Structure 1
């Protein structure tokens, strides 16, 4: 007895119960699923740097080609919350295999699309099936592995969820530059086949409950699709079409409101709701979802704003943008194992608050942006962004999902991932609106100051006129170039305002950790009610 009580920690680890060990088969199966999730999330942003090439290849208008991304996002945002119910009904193995196989076929058809209509259709199918993979991986991480291993699996899924959209433009730019835009989709085919076969062969996490399909809530699905799909459209298209002044945006806003009313009524009264909102009664899950929503704003917002600045102001190609943006991706990759170690020793709430503040500091450095900001000026802000994102996201995953009863995790994973995507959609809408409004404001203010009484403006105009002597109407060309300079300066000032808005927002967000209960990852889980 004495020997047993004085066993050293290594001896105790060696005698750890089987439930605390990760089975190699399950670990390999999980990593295959993680790669599938990476592929699905990557495809959201992988086309963003190559839309002009796709537009030219399909002879589409600029408004039509935007639907290559919008259709994917709308379909995905509907599939993500649905995945919880489908995972319980079909089982993880069958749902993931169907999703991976369908995603692969849709990718193949996207690559061979000859019209914009075909591309939009297959992108929507691709988004819907890809949306089923993401929350399934999150749920599996917190169901399959013991709590003592959450500090290992948490950084893996957190890294993929944040890294994939960050490097999407980089990967897309490289593929399009080296081959053609068709390969943005063909590159999914071999990995997709391998993932499908691997999942069918190795995944054995749970059993299907096909009887649940007998009570499938079709009205719940229809109202949820109307609510989330129209909301995504309003957020995507609203900023460029003056919101409710555009008929299609106003119509979708009305559909969104009506569908939302019926959807919430349905899920709160149905015997087997398509989404169980009762999980929000868990405080840490609810606050974790709020943090996920707000982190989504920064994750997708900055993945949009940096490339737009580099293209619009610096005139960078897709490949140059990708090379510049890759810094955040490398930083996230290097930070992930550090976060895993910290989670074993430091209060998760403190890690989240530190990450949000670091993210805010990275945005603050960009408030001084000028038209000369290049790779080296963007280096430190991007490093801070990568570190902050990982420190905030990974512990938030564990706090929100790791403390829930296992029977609630599948449904909760869909809701948690939905909040991140909706945060991204809202972030893009707000950032676009801020850029548009502040740029217009700065243009009007600068034009008021650029007059004949302004010595600097007069000297600049005379210098430009001399440059164009002999090339036609020198004074008119000088005025035109001065107007372009004013417009570019106004655009840069608009970017500075957007970064300042994000800075204030994230400093305030860091206070939300005070709402979290101190998590104990080794305490017994509260039973579901």
Structure 2
């Protein structure tokens, strides 16, 4: 090109910086293809929580026991945790186009089968397949966002993927509750079918970000895959089931804990010695990626922890239906949606470390407001805590994504994206285990303490019991019914106090976490001239 220009004076030389300007231009085809992929990621993350407010309806429809129905969520989570780190290798081998299309098509087919299933065993199987195949869409979107778009445009792209990663699990109970009440629980899964077909076709037609390297499959590390599945699958099971079965006092939890440890040893040995390891952990050498992954892990605790705690409180204490829970939880989702463009603009002008710290503090304010909760906390009492939660999550999550992935070399991006998304999911699993343990232990403690105070010499307890006895006069054994009612009041109060303790724990945790930003290397301001490449 340069030679032709030099030899033919009729062809004007391109102006200085023209090639740089061209590289900064957003290609409409790629933008549209990326948005299709983002929608696929939204569906995959949404399906983690879409069933959470409708498990009782699914249980009734499939005639499942209370222990079996929990596996509708657990099977999806275990399969997803295994598949997310695998996606880095598979994306390099198959290319973004084919991996995403296979993931979307498989996720869609499994969703259809979940809706058609007639037994709990079939449901658990198809949910596991749905989670495993759908997981490939999540890190692929993150990797694409930081490789196909110029850095000066990432203040637009970063809030989109940050919004989807935080909004999808937050609005999951809302969407699930609405679909279940309006139609039936089957539509929690049927709703994925038509969009899934459209995503598969769109990706095959439009995505051209990279090329597959099928030779990598010749060195596929099957031992590494088996050990990773044992390590992450057993870890997820222990974290999910441990709080319900007194941890290692349960034989299955203890046995899988041993499997987890042994598999972890084999997995890390293969990662460090295999010719083509199933997971490349070199990205952790980058200080900001390592710290960003720590923040992602901790943000996952808050993201999935509160998405679990709020619906559980509303159902257990307030007696809300799936639809009412969804309407209440919608506040956080709406806040995240409204904050996304503001966060994108702030990233152009504000130190991202300050944004992360401010977001974590806002999150802590939201949980602190819940520490004096009572059994009467309703929509409006939860309104401002959810506003702080939604805005804080967006303000922290988007800069964390950019700090962790925004400066990595392109050849590390696909593996790093899988690892980064894995940390968020593992953080959610650890957070749920800790929260469940706190709720169980602190509720038992408060029940014991309240029972010690509710005795015949306590004037308040006696007056309450007499009032209840008078209320039940003529309805049978009034004294026994009054005692049962008083016991329920004590138990409910202990449960509420347990929730308050869990919120206090999260408040202290996120305030302490906000101080860790001082260890992060100062990132460059997004869109600065020095960042153009």
TM range (shorter): over 0.9
| Cα distance in structure 2, aligned partners of 1:256 and 1:490 | 35
SS where residue 473 of structure 2 aligns? coil
| Cα distance in structure 1, aligned partners of 2:87 and 2:202 | 20
Q: Which of 85, 98, 102 is the equivalent residue of 2:89?
A: 85
**Corresponding residue number in structure 2 for 1:21:** 25
- Tell me by how many angstroms 1:13 deviates: 10
- Tell me by how many angstroms 1:288 deviates: 0.2
The Cα offsets for residues 286-309 of structure 1, whole Å up to 9 and x where unpaired, read as: 000000000000000000000000
| Cα distance in structure 2, aligned partners of 1:207 and 1:492 | 55
Q: TM-score, normalised by structure 2?
A: 0.95
- Tell me by how many angstroms 1:473 deviates: 1.1
**Corresponding residue number in structure 1 for 2:161:** 157
- Tell me by how many angstroms 1:523 deviates: 8.2
1:381 aligns with 2:385: yes
1:261 aligns with 2:265: yes
1:331 aligns with 2:313: no
**Corresponding residue number in structure 1 for 2:295:** 291
**Corresponding residue number in structure 1 for 2:480:** 476
1:146 aligns with 2:156: no
- Tell me by how many angstroms 1:272 deviates: 1.1
**Corresponding residue number in structure 2 for 1:67:** 71
SS where residue 446 of structure 2 aligns? helix
Q: Which of 503, 510, 516 is the equivalent residue of 1:512?
A: 516
| Cα distance in structure 1, aligned partners of 2:367 and 2:193 | 37
1:194 aligns with 2:198: yes
- Tell me by how many angstroms 1:59 deviates: 1.0
1:429 aligns with 2:456: no
- Tell me by how many angstroms 1:278 deviates: 1.5
| Cα distance in structure 2, aligned partners of 1:142 and 1:18 | 18
SS where residue 26 of structure 2 aligns? coil
| Cα distance in structure 1, aligned partners of 2:101 and 2:530 | 32
**Corresponding residue number in structure 1 for 2:55:** 51
Which consecutive unaligned segments of at least 5 residues does structure 1 have? Answer: 1-10
**Corresponding residue number in structure 2 for 1:3:** none
| Cα distance in structure 2, aligned partners of 1:228 and 1:99 | 20
**Corresponding residue number in structure 1 for 2:408:** 404
Q: Which of 231, 245, 250 is the equivalent residue of 2:249?
A: 245
The Cα offsets for residues 380-406 of structure 1, whole Å up to 9 and x where unpaired, read as: 000000000000000000000001001
| Cα distance in structure 1, aligned partners of 2:460 and 2:330 | 39
**Corresponding residue number in structure 1 for 2:496:** 492
The Cα offsets for residues 310-354 of structure 1, whole Å up to 9 and x where unpaired, read as: 000001000000000000000000000000000000001000000
Q: Which of 234, 238, 258 is the equivalent residue of 1:230?
A: 234
SS where residue 76 of structure 1 aligns? helix
- The 1:478–1:406 alpha-carbon spacing in structure 2 relative to 1, beyond 3 Å, is same
SS where residue 366 of structure 1 aligns? coil
Q: Which of 364, 370, 375 is the equivalent residue of 2:374?
A: 370
- Tell me by how many angstroms 1:93 deviates: 0.2
1:270 aligns with 2:274: yes
SS where residue 17 of structure 1 aligns? helix
The Cα offsets for residues 18-57 of structure 1, whole Å up to 9 and x where unpaired, read as: 1101100000000000000000000000011111111111
- Tell me by how many angstroms 1:453 deviates: 1.0
CA RMSD of aligned residues (A): 1.5
- 269-278 or 357-366, which deviates more: 269-278
After TM superposition, the runs of 4+ consecutive aligned structure 1 residues lying more than 2 A away are: 11-16, 521-525
Matched residue pairs, number? 516
Q: TM-score, normalised by structure 1?
A: 0.96
The Cα offsets for residues 151-175 of structure 1, whole Å up to 9 and x where unpaired, read as: 0000000000000000000100000
